[in-house]
Structure 1
Amino acid sequence: MSTVERFLIALLIVFTIPWLVWRWGRTERWAPLVVVQILAGIVLGPGVLGQWFPAYHAFVFTPEVTHALNGVAWWAVMLFVMIAGVELDMRQAWTHRRESGITAGLALGMPMLLGCGAAMVMLAWPGWLGPQAQRWQFVLGVGMACAVTALPILILFMEKLELLRHPLGQRILRYASLDDLAIWGVLALIVMDWARVGRQMAFLLAFVLAALAFRRLMVRVTEQDRWYLALIWLAACALGADWAGLHFMVGAFLAGAVLDAHWFDQDRMDLLRHHVLLTLMPVFFLSTGLRTSWTMGGLDVLLAAALLLAAAVTGKLIGVHLAGRILRWGPGEASLIGWLLQTKALIMIIFANVLLDRAIISSGTFTALLLMAVASTMITIPMVEPRLASIRRAA
C-alpha cells in the first residue's frame, strides 16, 4: 500500500469512529464530540491500539503517515490558537479590572499552586521529568497546566447552556480571557531558550515593530483582504517564534492577540472556529494520541492523572470561591463559575504538546496531563447543569 492510501485510511478512522461513538452512544451531555475525538486519539495511539494490535498499528501509522498527520495538525492548531488570540477581549476586562483581576488571579493562582505541589510529588519518582528540563520548568509547567481554562471549549459549553450572551456568561469570558493571556506568557517563559536569549529578544522587538505596521495595514484594507493577510501574518509569526527558540504556538497566539476582533465579522469568525474544529482539529487529536505513552506503567499514569485532576479542580473551586467572598457574589455563582473555568481540553492539550516538544515533560507525564484534561472537561456539564438550573429558579 502507498503512503497516500495509508494516510487516507488514518483519516477515515479518525473521522468515522469518534462520530459513530458520539452519535450512537448519545454522549453529548458528558462527552461532547471534541472529547470523544481526543479519547479516540488516545485509543489509536501506541499505548492502546499499538499495545493490543501492534501489527495493525504499525501497518497504518507508519513514520511517513505520522509525519503527514503532524503537518496537518500543526496548521490546524496554529489556526485554532490564533483564533483564541483574536477572541481575547481585553477592553472589557480593563473596564471591570478590579473584579476581573481578583477573580482571574485567584482562579489561576490557586490551581497553579496545587498543581506545582502535585508536580513536586511526582518528582519524587523517576520518569516524569523531561530529558531537557530543569526542575523549575517542570514544576511551573505542570502547575500552569492544572490552571488552564480552555477558552474555546468554554465558549462551546456556554452556547450549549444558553449562557454565552447572558451577563454572567460575559463575566466568565472576561475571567477566562485574562487567564488565557497569563497562561501564554508563562509558557513563553518556560520554553525560553536561555542560550538563545539574544535571538528571542530580537524576535520580540521585531514582532512589536511588525505588529504596529501590520495593524496599520489591516485598518486600511477590506475585510476580505484581512482574512488572507491574517493567514500570512500567522505563518510569519509562528516561523519567527520557532526560529527564535520559542515555540511556533507561542507565535500563533501572539499573531492573534494583536488583531482586533471587530476587524472581522463575528459570525464568520465563529464559522471559521467551527470549521477548524470540524475539519482539521480531529487530525490534531489523532496526532496527539499517537504521542501518548504508558511506559511508566498504566497504574502509575492513572494515579498521576488523578492527582493532577484533584489539584486542578480543587484549586480552581477554592480560588473562585475566595473571589466570590471578596466580591460578594450571589448564592451559587461561585460554584457555577468555578466548574466552568476548570474546563481544560484543547488549550491544555496544546500546552502539554509544547512542553513535550521541548522535552520539559516525559511522555508519561504528557499522557497523565492528557487524561486529566479529558476528565476535567467531561465532568463540567454534569456539574454545571443543576447549579445553573438552581440559579435560574432563584431568579
Structure 2
Amino acid sequence: MIATRHLPKRSMHQTDLFLLAMLLILAVPYLLWRLGRTEYVAPLVVVQIVCGILLGPGVLGAAFPAYYATVFDPGVIQALNGIAWWAVMVFVWIAGIELDLGQVWRQRRECGITAGLALGVPLLFGALAAMALLHWRDGWIGPHGARWQFVMGVGMACAVTALPILLLLMEKLAILRQPFGQRVLRYASLDDVAIWAVLAMILVDWQRIGLQLVFLVLFVPVAWAFRRLMHRLPAADRWYVGLIWLALCALAADRAGLHFMVGAFLAGAVTDRDSFDGPTLDLLRHHVLLVVMPVFFLSTGLRTHWSVGGGAVFAAAGLLLVAEVVGKLAGVHLAARWLGWSRGEAWLVGWLLQTKALIMIIFVNVLLDRGIITGDTFTALLLMAVASTMLTVPMVAPRLQRLRAAG
C-alpha cells in the first residue's frame, strides 16, 4: 500500500497510455484482417500499414483530435519511436543478410539487364512525376532538400521492390521455391542493393563528406575482420555478436552523416549468410514482423499529413502509382524482348516486382527524417506503396492459375 501510494501519478498515466496504444496497434489490424478476410488482396502486413495511416493524425487525429492528443501524447510517441527504430533496424539487417549476391553474379547478364531496366525505367517515370509535382504546386519538397534530391528520392521510391514482402507473397502463391520464383528473387536482390546505394548518394552531406569517406574506408577492413570473427565463434554466440555489429554499424553510419538505416543494411549485407542457420533466420524475421514491426507501422502512420489538402495528396498518390506501375511493366517488357523470354513471363515478373510496402516505407521515412520530402509527399508515397502492393496478388494469381491449367 505504501509503495503504491508513492508511485508517480504521471508515470502510471504514461504506462496506461502506452499500453492502450499497444492494444490499438495489435488489435485493430488483426481484427480487420481476420474478420474482413483480406488475405487475398492485403496480407496482415499491408493491413497494419493501412491501420497506421487510419490511426494517424490525418484520419483519427482529424476526427477525434482530443482523444488522439490524449492517447498519442509526446511521451507515448517517444516510447513507440524507440521500439520502431530498433524493430526496423533488425528487419533491414535481416534483409541484408538474406541477399544472395553470389547467385546473382552467376546469372549476372540476365540479372543485370532485367534488374537494371526494372529499376531504371520506373525511376525515370517516377522522377518525371516528381518534377510534375514541383511544377503543380508548393508543399512537396522538404526544408532541407535540394531539387535533385527530391526528384531522385521520389523516383527511387517508385522503382523500389520490397524483397521481404515479395518473399511473403510468393510463398502464398506457392512459387517461392520454384525456379521462376528464384529468378524473381535474384532481380529483386540486385535492386535492393541499388536502393541503398542511391540512398547513400542522396544523403551525402558535402559539409561532412570527409567523415563519410572515413566511415566507408574503415568499414571495409572492419567488415572483413568481422566476417572472420563470426566463423570462429560458436553458433549460439553469432546471434548476439551479430546484433552488437548491427548497433555499431548503425551508430557509426549515423554519426558520419549517413542514416542509421544505411548502416543497418551494410551490417547485414557484409555478413556471411552461412554464419546463421537458415530456418532460424526465417523464424527471426517472422517474429520481428509479429512482435515489434507493428509498432513501426503505427509510428509511420503517425507521420502522415494532409496539409496541402486530401484531394491533392490522393491525386499525387495516383500520379505516382501510374508512373511506377507503367514504368515497372515497361522496363520488364524491354528486358523480356532483349532476353527472349516466353510469352507471359514479363507480365508476371513485372507485377511481382511491384511489391513495395516495407522497404519503400523505410526508404521514404529516411527522406522525411532528413527533410528532403514533406509529410504530404510522404503520405502520397505511402498510399502509392500500399496500393501497388495490394494490386500484386490479384494481378498475378489468375495468370498463374491459367498457366498451371495449361501446363
Shared fold (TM-score greater than 0.5)?
A: yes
Indicate the residue corresponding to 1:68 in structure 2: 79
Deviation above 4 Å: which 4+ runs of structure 1? Answer: none
The sequence identity of aligned pairs, in percent, is: 68
Corresponding residue of 1:23? 34
What's the CA shift for 1:390? 2.1
- Who is 1:92 aligned against? 103
2:260 match: 248
Which stretch of structure 1 is more off in the superposition, 384-393 or 191-200?
Answer: 384-393
Distance apart, 1:5 and its partner CA: 1.1
Q: Is the 8 A contact 1:332 1:391 kept in 2?
A: no
Q: Out of 217, 237, 257, which is 2:229 matched to?
A: 217
Q: Provide TM-score, normalisation by structure 2.
A: 0.96
SS of match in other structure, 2:218: helix
In structure 2, give the amino acid aligned to 1:390: R
**Which of 371, 376, 390 is the matching residue for 1:364?**
376
Is residue 323 of structure 1 aligned with residue 335 of structure 2? yes
Matches of residues 272-351 of structure 1 in structure 2 within 5 Å?
272-351=284-363
Query: Aligned pair count?
Result: 395
Shift of 1:392: 1.9
> Per-residue deviation at 1:261?
1.3
* 1:148-177 Cα shifts (integer Å, max 9, x gaps): 000000000010011010000000000000
Residue pair 1:342, 1:376 contacting (<8 A) in 2 also? yes
| Alignment pair present for 1:121 and 2:132 | yes
What is the letter of the counterpart of residue 196 of structure 2?
W
Question: What's the TM-score, normalizing by structure 1?
Answer: 0.99
Alignment of 1:141-290 (within 5 A): 141-290=153-302
Q: CA deviation at 1:308?
A: 0.4
CA contact (8 A) 1:344 1:374 kept: yes
CA distance in 1, matches of 2:364, 2:399: 30
Query: Could you list the per-position Cα deviations for residues 206-260 of structure 1 after superposition, in whole angstroms to 9, with x for gaps in the alignment?
Result: 2112101101100111211111111000000000000000000000000000011
Larger gyration radius, structure 1 or structure 2: 2
- Alignment deviations for residues 79-111 of structure 1 (CA, whole Å, 9 cap, x no partner): 000011001010110000000000000000010
Q: Distance in 2 between matches of 1:208 and 1:11?
A: 40
Give the Cα–Cα distance (whole angstroms) in 2 for the partners of residues 60 and 163 of structure 1. Answer: 43
Q: 1:139 aligns with which of 151, 162, 173?
A: 151
Pair 1:54-2:29 in alignment: no
1:131–1:360 contact (8 Å) kept in structure 2? yes
Q: Distance in 1 between matches of 2:401 and 2:197?
A: 36
Structure 2 residue 46 is matched with structure 1 residue 35: yes
SS at match of 1:132: coil
Query: Pairwise CA RMSD of aligned residues?
Result: 0.7
- Aligned equivalent of 2:118: 107
